[in-house]
């Protein structure tokens, strides 16, 4: 028994030192200006300020089974475009409302730190639209309207590059298509041998080369009177991608940094106030076990904050609310454990036996209640909007970590302070603040 108690107390001491180390990491990574440990919390748009843009996607010309893929490509294109301009941690996601053919699709763009709305709009509007067109039946190709769409667009472009050949006086631009684009390009060139295939960028004719033969390797070449700088600029724009789905702006909002800082300060204040109230009630009601629960709760908070930095998790006001709610969930598990512990003590068991049996009997209730909450969080994350996702993510993460701290940390600490003999002091410390227990400790 003495050896078991020694190991348990050693484990409890190690857990405390680990928690203190993680706590220092959370503090130091927030204050360090440079270096590997410079890991400040990632704040969402509503806390750091920036621009929130909502675009409606026109998917009427896309087959129902291909809409998800097209929206995914659209998100990747916009994200690649924005990242080139150095916007810090943009959030771009596709959302769907409804089901089937009547569903509407939107693209949500959040740009932290960009409070100039015109600048934010230009980041999206400058994305080029690359199209390949062929002559309409009976047309001569003398005017731009003589060309018709072929379905081959920049959506299928894999890479563009500048190249110099002996046959061209200036630079030309090489285009490489992905497998699906290569197939479309092969069909396009095979059916238009001897005819021009026009290449348009944002509705402007770049080149209309005559197809000499079928091109099956997915490579095309744009020639023209380009300067080196013009060719490089065009290649850069092409590599940023062309919009696979037409979009138009339906909503825009800017959030100032001052408003975000105020929301953050109020969220932190609410969390500290709630923590203080919960800690006070636990100590008043459960005395020493309540103090153990508070220490375990501190370990839980440190683990959560460290995970927020390491994953990393983008914290929003809703996410902070989910985190605060998870503190209550973490304490709820301790309440179930302590009530079971008190019942075991009433039966005359020793503190060590009561702790073992109390945790075992409380586990089923803890598991079922946390599992139902976790399922709710997953559903919210899966179907919710961007704001709801932040709430669901922090709450789900909190549920998982709270189960660990309740079953592992609290249990270890209680076993570590176990005593062999009954005294008035231990009877007082392990009895409820509002009940007199006659337990053998």
298 plus 393 within the same structural domain: yes
* Domain membership flag for residue 125: no
Instruction: Identify the DSSP state of 65.
Output: G
The parent domain of residue 283 ranges over 2-42+257-429
Do the bridges between strand 147-153 and strand 130-135 make them parallel or antiparallel, or are there none, so unpaired?
antiparallel
37 plus 171 within the same structural domain: no
CA distances from 235 to 151, 182, 201 (A): 21, 19, 11
* Domain membership flag for residue 379: yes
Backbone phi and psi for residue 163, each to the nearest 5 degrees, phi listed first: -140, 155
387 plus 329 within the same structural domain: yes
Coil vs helix vs strand at 192: coil
Total number of domains in the chain: 3
The pLDDT value recorded for residue 440 is 41
How far apart CA 176 and CA 285 sit, in angstroms, is 70
* Domain membership flag for residue 123: no
66 plus 191 within the same structural domain: no
CB 345 within 8 A of CB 437: yes
CATH number at residue 146: 3.30.1360.200
154 plus 230 within the same structural domain: yes
Q: Which two tokens stand for residue 402?
A: 């709270």
How far apart CA 67 and CA 246 sit, in angstroms, is 12
* Domain membership flag for residue 434: no
How far apart CA 342 and CA 437 sit, in angstroms, is 8
* Domain membership flag for residue 438: no
Contacts (Cβ under 8 Å, ≥6 apart) of 397 = 304, 307, 313, 326
107 plus 209 within the same structural domain: no
* Domain membership flag for residue 122: no
Residue-wise DSSP of 113-149: T---HHHHHHHHHT---EEEEEEPTT--SSSGGGEEE
pLDDT along the chain (441 residues), means of 10: 78 92 90 74 80 87 78 77 65 79 84 75 68 80 73 82 78 87 90 86 75 84 77 70 77 76 84 90 87 92 92 83 85 87 79 83 88 90 75 89 88 77 55 47 42
* Residues paired with residue 106 on neighbouring β-strands, in sequence order: 56, 95
Contacts (Cβ under 8 Å, ≥6 apart) of 66 = none
CB 293 within 8 A of CB 286: yes
162 plus 308 within the same structural domain: no
The pLDDT value recorded for residue 421 is 47
Buried b (16+ CB within 10 A) or exposed e, 27-55: eebeeeeeeeeebebbbbbbbbbbbbbbb
The pLDDT value recorded for residue 441 is 42
The domain boundary, picked from 206, 240, 274, lies at 240
The domain boundary, picked from 215, 240, 265, lies at 240
Q: Which two tokens stand for residue 108?
A: 């949500």
How far apart CA 316 and CA 318 sit, in angstroms, is 5
331 plus 225 within the same structural domain: no
* Domain membership flag for residue 124: no
CATH number at residue 406: 1.20.1640.10
Buried b (16+ CB within 10 A) or exposed e, 101-125: eeeebbbbbbbbebeeeeebeebbe
The pLDDT value recorded for residue 39 is 84
* Domain membership flag for residue 284: yes
The 10 Å Cβ neighbour count of residue 282 is 22
The domain boundary, picked from 208, 224, 254, lies at 254
178 plus 319 within the same structural domain: no
153 plus 58 within the same structural domain: no
Coil vs helix vs strand at 152: strand
The pLDDT value recorded for residue 85 is 58
CB 222 within 8 A of CB 207: yes
CB 40 within 8 A of CB 310: no
* Residues paired with residue 199 on neighbouring β-strands, in sequence order: 132, 207
271 plus 135 within the same structural domain: no
170 plus 92 within the same structural domain: no
How far apart CA 361 and CA 149 sit, in angstroms, is 69
């Amino acid at each position: 028994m003495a050896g078991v108690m020694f190991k348990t107390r050693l484990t409890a001491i190690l857990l405390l030192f680990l928690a203190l180390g993680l706590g220092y990491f959370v503090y130091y990574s927030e204050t360090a200006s440079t270096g590997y440990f410079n890991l400040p919390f990632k704040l969402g748009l509503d806390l750091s300020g920036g621009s929130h843009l909502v675009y409606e996607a026109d998917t009427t010309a896309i087959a129902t089974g291909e809409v998800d893929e097209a929206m995914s490509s659209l998100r990747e294109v916009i994200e690649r475009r924005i990242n080139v301009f150095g916007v810090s941690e943009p959030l771009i996601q596709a959302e769907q409302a409804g089901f089937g053919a009547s569903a509407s699709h939107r693209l949500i763009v959040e740009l932290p730190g960009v409070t100039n709305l015109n600048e934010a709009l230009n980041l999206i509007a400058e994305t080029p639209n690359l199209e390949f067109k062929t002559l309409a039946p009976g047309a001569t190709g003398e005017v731009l309207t003589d060309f018709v769409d072929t379905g081959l667009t920049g959506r299928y472009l894999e890479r563009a590059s500048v190249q110099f050949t002996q046959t061209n006086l200036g630079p030309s631009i090489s285009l490489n298509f992905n497998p699906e684009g290569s197939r479309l390009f092969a069909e396009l060139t095979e059916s238009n041998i001897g005819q021009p295939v026009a290449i348009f960028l944002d509705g402007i004719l770049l080149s209309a080369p005559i197809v000499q033969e079928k091109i099956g390797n997915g490579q095309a070449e744009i020639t023209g009177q380009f300067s080196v700088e013009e060719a490089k600029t065009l290649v850069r724009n092409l590599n940023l991608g062309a919009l696979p789905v037409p979009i138009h702006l339906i909503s825009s909002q800017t959030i100032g940094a001052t408003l975000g800082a105020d929301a953050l300060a109020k969220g932190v204040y609410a969390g500290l106030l709630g923590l203080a109230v919960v800690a006070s009630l636990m100590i008043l009601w459960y005395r020493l076990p309540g103090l153990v629960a508070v220490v375990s709760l501190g370990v839980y908070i440190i683990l959560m904050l460290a995970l927020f930095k390491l994953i990393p998790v983008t914290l929003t006001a809703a996410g902070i609310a989910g985190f605060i709610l998870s503190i209550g969930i973490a304490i709820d598990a301790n309440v179930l454990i302590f009530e079971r512990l008190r019942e075991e003590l009433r039966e005359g068991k020793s503190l060590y036996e009561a702790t073992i049996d109390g945790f075992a009997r409380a586990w089923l209730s803890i598991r079922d209640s946390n599992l139902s909450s976790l399922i709710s969080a997953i559903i919210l994350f899966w179907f919710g909007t961007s704001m709801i996702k932040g709430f669901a993510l922090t709450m789900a993460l909190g549920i998982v970590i709270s189960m660990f701290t309740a079953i592992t940390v609290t249990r270890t600490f209680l076993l570590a302070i176990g005593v062999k003999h009954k005294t008035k002091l231990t009877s007082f410390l392990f009895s409820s603040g509002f009940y007199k227990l006659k337990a053998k400790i």
